[in-house]
Amino acid sequence: MRVPHATLQRCRLITGKEAGELLSVSPECIRQWVRRGYLSPVARDERNRALLYREDHVLEAERVCRSRRSRAPR
């Protein structure tokens, strides 16, 4: 599915640290989501250091991870 260019321009890009603050999780948790395939970086910051994530992708990854956790057997 192709996303219209106008939609991509409205998507806010955030760092792993900002994503962690947004969701009240650690940046390490965001890195684990990347390693596990729940989230993918889309760019790097202007200094080519920090990975950037689309805010809507971060929120979707959180929703998926939390729903999986609630279904896990105890």
pLDDT in tens, the chain (74 residues): 455 555 555 689 999 999 999 999 999 999 999 999 999 999 998 888 899 999 999 999 999 988 876 665 65
| Domain span holding position 46 | 10-71
The structural domain count of the chain equals 1
How many Cβ atoms are within 10 Å of 31's Cβ, its own excluded? 14
* Cβ(39)–Cβ(30) below 8 Å: yes
Give this prediction's pTM. Answer: 0.76
Residue 3 lies in a domain: no
Distances (CA, A) of 56 to 10, 11, 45: 10, 7, 18
Residue 5 lies in a domain: no
